[in-house]
Structures are given as structure tokens and as C-alpha cells.
């Protein structure tokens, strides 16, 4: 029985809106901004700080500093008591939350490595949403970004996600073999929702038929 849907996405592909519509269609809980808010609550920090760290690696200089701190006497005393709102701290809390949401079930989880954390769960359906580069830039411009800013964001955010997935899962993003379905969002939100819902139903039906053999 499918009870988890993960939606991995290229930045500015419109996946957030699609996820929202799928969650409403299924009457499932949407873990997107809610996930960010809950991480911030658990780390007792501002949600904007979490947003800056999600799906990213800490800079090399910072990682070296943390390694040095752990190796020092003072650091060995203080590090276990610190709740660190850096990229690694956010990742650790996010992983726990994603797995808790999956255990709870009836969850649509957007990004944050969820497809990779949950890839071995048979009750999860994994979708990747993408769009042509020009469409992503156009979408950001409609949201008020300048063309240079939009171009930079489209390149930088997905570069960060690529590095994040490579670092923690040792695969090249998006790692197509992790997904049941990949959708070009230019088909439109409603068509994308139908494809996802129908895809989940087809996989569930296939699994049920195999179980009866």
C-alpha cells in the first residue's frame, strides 16, 4: 500500500505547486515549508537560517574548523551539547523528520533528500520534476527576479543540490534509477498531478498482482 510520495525537483521547475495540488487531491499531509518550519523549531533557530542550509554542504573551511573544534579539549566538552544550525546539523534533523513523516504515512515530501533517504521503502513512490532551463528562468522572472538574478539562481541552487546528493548518497543527481516517474512540468500542473496519481495507482496495482501470484 503506497503511503508516501516524494517529489524531488529542479529549482524553479514548479514542483512546489504540483506537490501542493497532489497533496490536496490525495488528502495527504504536505511536507515542504512545514518541514523547514519543523527543522527550525527543533534547532531553535530562524527558519531563514534553515532555508540557507537546506540541501547544501558546509564550506570546506567551516568543515575543517568543526573538525578542529571536535579535536580540541574544549570542543570535545562543548560539541555534544551544541545544536548546530549549519548545513550538517540541518541535514541530520531533516533526515530524522523525513523518516518520521514516512512512518506516519499519507505524506507528500518535497526534496530535502527524501527520495534518497526512503529509496528502500516499498510503500514509497518517487517522482522527479524538471523543466527546460529557459522555462525556469522565465518562472523566476514572473516572481519578480531580474534576468541575471534568475540565471544565477537556476545554476547555483541545482549545483548545490548536486553536491549535496553526491556527498551524502554517493550518486550523481538526480540518479534516475531512484525514481518511478520523471515529469517535464511544461505539461502543466493538472497533467502532472494526473500522471503522479495514476502512476502511484499503477505501481500499487502491479505490486498487488505480483503478491497474489
Residue 146 pLDDT: 96
* CB-based contact 208:123 (threshold 8 Å): no
Residue 212 pLDDT: 57
- Helix 133-142 to helix 147-169 angle, to the nearest 10 degrees? 120
pLDDT tens across the length of the chain (213 residues)? 899 999 999 999 999 999 999 999 999 999 999 999 999 999 888 888 888 888 776 544 334 433 443 443 344 444 444 445 688 888 999 999 999 999 999 999 999 999 999 999 999 999 999 999 999 999 999 999 999 999 999 999 999 999 999 999 999 999 999 999 999 999 999 999 999 999 999 998 887 766 655
**What is the pTM assigned to this prediction?**
0.85
Tally of domains within the chain: 1
Of the candidates 81, 55, 59, 86, the one whose C-alpha atom is nearest the C-alpha of residue 70 is: 81
Residue 172: give its domain's CATH number. Answer: 3.40.50.300
* CB-based contact 106:12 (threshold 8 Å): no
Helix, coil or strand: residue 146 = coil
Question: Residue 202's domain spans which residues?
Answer: 4-212
Round the CA-based radius of gyration of the chain to a whole number and report it. 19
Amino acid at each position: 500500500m503506497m503511503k508516501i510520495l516524494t517529489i524531488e525537483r529542479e529549482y524553479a521547475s514548479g514542483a512546489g505547486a504540483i506537490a501542493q495540488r497532489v497533496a490536496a487531491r490525495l488528502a495527504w499531509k504536505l511536507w515542504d515549508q512545514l518541514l523547514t518550519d519543523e527543522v527550525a523549531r527543533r534547532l531553535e533557530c530562524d527558519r531563514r537560517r534553515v532555508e540557507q542550509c537546506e540541501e547544501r554542504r558546509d564550506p570546506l573551511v567551516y568543515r575543517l574548523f568543526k573538525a578542529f573544534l571536535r579535536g580540541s579539549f574544549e570542543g570535545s566538552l562543548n560539541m555534544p551539547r551544541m545544536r548546530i544550525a549549519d548545513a550538517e546539523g540541518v541535514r541530520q534533523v531533516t533526515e530524522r523528520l523525513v523518516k518520521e513523516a514516512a512512518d506516519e504515512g499519507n505524506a507528500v515530501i518535497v526534496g530535502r533528500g527524501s527520495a534518497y533517504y526512503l529509496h528502500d521503502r516499498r510503500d514509497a513512490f518517487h517522482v522527479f520534476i524538471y523543466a527546460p532551463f529557459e522555462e525556469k528562468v522565465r518562472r523566476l522572472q514572473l516572481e519578480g527576479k531580474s534576468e541575471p538574478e534568475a540565471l544565477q539562481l537556476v545554476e547555483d541552487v541545482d549545483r548545490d543540490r548536486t553536491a549535496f546528493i553526491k556527498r551524502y548518497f554517493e550518486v550523481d543527481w538526480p540518479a534516475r534509477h531512484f525514481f518511478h516517474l520523471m515529469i517535464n512540468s511544461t505539461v502543466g500542473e493538472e497533467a502532472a498531478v494526473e500522471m503522479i496519481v495514476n502512476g502511484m495507482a499503477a505501481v500499487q496495482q502491479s505490486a498487488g498482482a505480483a503478491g497474489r501470484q
